Amino acid sequence: MEAALGVLRNVQTVLYVGLGVSAFWAWHRRRGPTRAWMAGTFGVLAVVTLVGLLLPDENAPRSSADWASRTVLMLIVLFPYFLFRFAASFRRRPEWVEVGALALTIVLGLSVYLFDELPRQGEAWGSAFGVWVLGFLVQWVSLSAVVAFELWRSGHGQPTVSRRRMRLLSFGSIGLALALVLAGAAGSGGGSTTSRFVVQLLSLASAPLFLLGFNPPRFLLAAWRRPELLELRSAEEVLMRAVTQSEVGERLLPHVTRIVGGKASVLVDRDGHVLGVDGVSLGDVGQLLDPTAKGHRPEEIIVIPLRSGRLVVQATPYTPYFARSETELLDTLATFTDLALSRAELSERERQTAIELHAANEAMREFVAIASHDLRTPVTVIKGFASALESDRGAISAEQRQQHLGTIRRHADHLGVIIDDLLTTSRLDAGVIEPTPTEIELGPFLRRLAIDLHPDVPVTVDVGPADLRIRVDCDHLQRMVTNYLENAFRYGEPPVTLRARLVEEFVEIAVCDEGRGVPPEFVDRAFEKFARVDKRHSKESQGTGLGLAIVRGLARASGGDAWFVPNVRDGACFALRLPVSGPS
């Protein structure tokens, strides 16, 4: 039995020293508080087992044996504290717990050196040493229990690898604490050989538990990771089937959250628009995406950059240490997500194009219908009166004849305007209108235009600065201002104002009247082709319905724009803007 005990002790030494070395190596490779505390924890164990081997035998002088034994005891006291700090590096404990643990550890560690001499094996413990052993057991068992409970409880909801690693560490802590309690219970005599064997066995069994929990071999990792790999496959399938970008977000994210055992995940496109959320409300997404938000723990946030945006996962404090490989699975998923988002974007663009084509077809159909109607009316009148003049030649008085001819001329003129407007609109749509700019003095040009258009109706022309000169296509400018003025005369009430102002490198020209204004429902479509104030509400003569569309088209062809000016209390106000230096 003694020989077996010796073998167990040697195996244990090898394992704990190996554990200590690999913990230090892990900390050396990737430094951080978690790995530092882990290295400290297992480093202490390794040192204790090594120093234990060097302990002088029972026949050695008491002074040298004392020195080694006190050092071993002091180091053993550090082990549960370091393990506790390792667990607390993920989730801080209440301050009084942390301070209490530290104080107890310092007191126990230093008090080892206060005893006159330590009892040797088989010697009776003095009462002071008995109290120390009791305190030591309380410290070890309570801290180990806190760590074991914390790791066990937090493993819930973690990916399989993390959960198993955390639970192995939890078992290891319990095993070692149990071994110590048994050793303590055996008292000064060290107990029977059997009890020492059990203690040794428990202590030895803890080593592989710690080893597997701390640094599991690859084959175990691969076996444990199967559920997460299946989750990854499901996520990839989802990505293959998703049609829209929001579908990608909605269906992918639950898998993403589960793969890393996170709390929430968000998918945003390259413009920062949220495409999907999981585990968080849309209102709280901002906080998750904002690294400066209150209560934000950057180490818990995993950001996977995508070509078409980014995938942000709120993980747990344990993820960076225990679930690094699961986080790497998300990198694999990123490529698929990018592909799915690109495909969805293309498909969305295709759908949008189809909608636009349909709308364009509808607009064209409507255009043809309205144009046909507007062309047919004057043609009908012209044909009808011409026919009446021909067939009823004898029955028609000279006065009627003049009236009929006048009607024919009026409608022929109107037909000419419609045809001209239609041709202009078509050329604007085709983009074949090229402005031919010349330099003019704007004030005299606008005044002459207003007088020529309607000599009987005064128009207030106000140009500032008065001597403003611009480079502009005069025919286009005349057409645009004429259309605005005709609308003001046709639908508005005098006085009509024509105002031009220099605004940065543009001239803004506005025509305002003081009539009934523009019906609100008409404002949005005022510049559309054939947009006219609903005839149902108007008795006024109708224009071609192309005037404003032509103004906007011509203004844009020169690098400017045309728009309705809202919030004019009485009447309507339409404006246009042209570059002073001419079309770009």
Partner 1 sequence: MAADSTRSFAIVEDQPDMCVLIRLALTRDPRLQAAGEASSADEALALLDECEPALIILDHSIEGEMMGLEAAPLLKAKAAGSKILLFTAHDMSGEAASEPAVDAFLRKDRIDQLLATAQRLLGLDPAA
123, 362, 392, 439: which one binds partner 1 (CB under 8 A) = 392
Between 413 and 434, whose beta carbon lies closer to partner 1? 413
Helix axes 95-111, 127-154, angle to 10 degrees: 140
If one asks whether residue 418 binds partner 1 (CB under 8 A), the answer comes out as: no
Peptide bond between residue 465 and the one before it cis (omega within 30 degrees of 0): yes
Task: Tell me the closest approach of the beta carbon of residue 530 to partner 1, in angstroms.
Answer: 13
If one asks whether residue 371 binds partner 1 (CB under 8 A), the answer comes out as: no
Interatomic CA distance for residues 534 and 211, integer angstroms: 84
91, 156, 351, 373: which one binds partner 1 (CB under 8 A) = 373
Between 30 and 383, whose beta carbon lies closer to partner 1? 383
Task: Tell me the closest approach of the beta carbon of residue 384 to partner 1, in angstroms.
Answer: 4
If one asks whether residue 379 binds partner 1 (CB under 8 A), the answer comes out as: yes
Tokens standing for residue 368: 């043809």
If one asks whether residue 380 binds partner 1 (CB under 8 A), the answer comes out as: yes
If one asks whether residue 384 binds partner 1 (CB under 8 A), the answer comes out as: yes
Write each residue from 479 to 518 as x if it is in contact with partner 1 (CB under 8 A), else as -, in one continuous string.
Answer: ----------------------------------------
Between 331 and 392, whose beta carbon lies closer to partner 1? 392
The enclosing H or E element of 459 equals strand 459-464
Between 335 and 387, whose beta carbon lies closer to partner 1? 387
- Residue 176, burial from CB neighbour count under 10 angstroms (0-12, 13-18, 19+): buried
Q: How would you label 196-211 residue by residue, b for 16+ Cβ within 10 Å and e otherwise?
A: bbbbbbbbbbbbebbb
| Binding segment (CB under 8 A) for partner 1, from list 140-148, 263-271, 307-315, 369-377 | 369-377
Between 59 and 541, whose beta carbon lies closer to partner 1? 541
Q: Could you say which DSSP state residue 525 is in?
A: T
Q: Are 165 and 213 in contact (CB under 8 A)?
A: yes
Between 185 and 369, whose beta carbon lies closer to partner 1? 369
Q: Could you say which DSSP state residue 282 is in?
A: G
What's the one-letter identity of residue 298? Answer: P
Interatomic CA distance for residues 41 and 37, integer angstroms: 6
Q: Which of 505, 501, 498 is nearest to 478 (CA)?
A: 498
Task: Tell me the closest approach of the beta carbon of residue 365 to partner 1, in angstroms.
Answer: 11
If one asks whether residue 402 binds partner 1 (CB under 8 A), the answer comes out as: no
If one asks whether residue 393 binds partner 1 (CB under 8 A), the answer comes out as: no
Between 270 and 537, whose beta carbon lies closer to partner 1? 537
Size of the site for partner 1 (CB under 8 A): 22
Q: How far is CA 581 from CA 173, 437, 440, 461, 473, in A?
A: 83, 9, 11, 22, 11
If one asks whether residue 365 binds partner 1 (CB under 8 A), the answer comes out as: no
Q: Could you say which DSSP state residue 567 is in?
A: -
Alpha carbon dihedral 476, 478, 483, 487, in 10-degree steps, equals: 160
Q: How far is CA 577 from CA 316, 470, 506, 511, 568, in A?
A: 57, 12, 6, 12, 18
What's the one-letter identity of residue 414? Answer: H
Interatomic CA distance for residues 131 and 135, integer angstroms: 6
If one asks whether residue 405 binds partner 1 (CB under 8 A), the answer comes out as: no
Q: Which of 216, 205, 180, 213 is nearest to 195 (CA)?
A: 180
| SS3 state of residue 337 | helix
106, 243, 359, 369: which one binds partner 1 (CB under 8 A) = 369
Distance separating the N- and C-terminal Cα atoms of the chain: 101
| Binding segment (CB under 8 A) for partner 1, from list 149-157, 403-411, 480-488, 495-503 | 403-411
Tokens 């592909």 appear where? Answer: 339
27, 86, 129, 385: which one binds partner 1 (CB under 8 A) = 385
Between 389 and 580, whose beta carbon lies closer to partner 1? 389
Between 120 and 383, whose beta carbon lies closer to partner 1? 383
Residues 6+ apart with CB under 8 A from 149: 170
Write each residue from 95 to 114 as x if it is in contact with partner 1 (CB under 8 A), else as -, in one continuous string.
Answer: --------------------
97, 229, 388, 568: which one binds partner 1 (CB under 8 A) = 388
Between 176 and 408, whose beta carbon lies closer to partner 1? 408
Site residues for partner 1, 523-562, by CB under 8 A, read 535-536, 539
Between 226 and 383, whose beta carbon lies closer to partner 1? 383
Task: Tell me the closest approach of the beta carbon of residue 371 to partner 1, in angstroms.
Answer: 11
Residues that bind partner 1 (CB under 8 A): 369, 372-374, 376-377, 379-381, 383-385, 387-388, 391-392, 407, 410-411, 535-536, 539
